[in-house]
Structure 1
């Protein structure tokens, strides 16, 4: 009985920590994946992203994985763009035009969590 309570408590605490750590931001998408700032012409697949300057941190983010969840629209064009929950992407590039807390997802990654017609969405992301 005590073991069950401790297990449940650990799950609740882990859930709260991951929710509290999520960064609110926005995401757009891109379609040309090579070359990338981190890996040059080495293909890293399609579940990838380019990081804003702060997150990129002179390449320190290269290869790190982030969980990304669509939380809502940023424009009036697609009022409910979110679909399919959460994805994990690998940082492979710098997005020099991205704002604070913005990720530029590969088209495949973006389309997995949102309608491409939205173009830009609200997200939450945290390290995987």
Structure 2
């Protein structure tokens, strides 16, 4: 490899040769171009910090490791952040739930509910929103079926049994029998803000 010499007094120091665009052969041009930053870094160390130059390989390895660690940490933080932003349900639903949303009422006596039971409007029952109910192949298998939740609305609280799924309800919503709804709000309101939590 051709070397150059610096003229700093009587101490001549060899400098690494940096290939120019005219001297890079067609067969090795890509390799040499990629090495130019390394040559520049080496020349900088040898001219400005000659004592440090002998550690250049260690310095480059350290820089590479720091970059790698930064990338790994970024990936981990992104993954953890994404997990925290997800809701607390899975395909089969969850039995450790609470929520805030809209409370409405319907007639559970119109047919068999998603849990497989036939109920009537005089019972304290409710249909849970689809996202928190779960998406099991058999809706009867949702672990939320038969769970009791305490619902609090503007008028008071009531404990209802989950017997159905509300397909159009958003996360946090509950669709209750009119008997249950009347204990937390006036019937004329139709839709109210509620908070609820699984109690058994």
Same fold per superposition (TM over 0.5): yes
- 8 Å contact 1:36–1:93 — kept in the other structure? yes
1:53 matched to 2:130: yes
Structure 2 residue aligned with 1:64, among 147, 163, 172? 147
- 8 Å contact 1:44–1:92 — kept in the other structure? no
Deviation digits for residues 97-121 of structure 1, max 9, x if unmatched? Answer: 1111110011110011110111100
Q: With structure 2 as the length reference, what TM-score do the two structures score?
A: 0.44
- 8 Å contact 2:151–2:197 — kept in the other structure? yes
Q: Aligned pair in 2 of structure 1 residues 43, 104: CA closer, same or farther (>3 Å)?
A: closer
The structure in which a higher percent of residues are helix is 2
- Specify every segment of 5 or more residues in structure 2 that has no aligned partner in the other structure, as ranges: 1-96, 137-141
The structure in which a higher percent of residues are strand is 1
Q: How many residues align?
A: 96
1:110 matched to 2:187: no
Match of 1:95 in 2: 166
Higher relative contact order (CA 8 A, sep 6+): 1
Q: Distance in 1 between matches of 2:169 and 2:161?
A: 17
Deviation digits for residues 55-109 of structure 1, max 9, x if unmatched? Answer: 2113221001100000xxxxxxxxxxx32x2110000001001111110011110
Q: Distance in 2 between matches of 1:119 and 1:43?
A: 19
Match of 1:14 in 2: none
CA RMSD for the aligned pairs? 2.1
Deviation digits for residues 15-74 of structure 1, max 9, x if unmatched? Answer: xxxxxx85221111002333111133366961000001122113221001100000xxxx
Q: Distance in 2 between matches of 1:124 and 1:47?
A: 16
Match of 2:100 in 1: 24
Q: Distance in 1 between matches of 2:119 and 2:181?
A: 21
SS in 2 for 1:112: coil
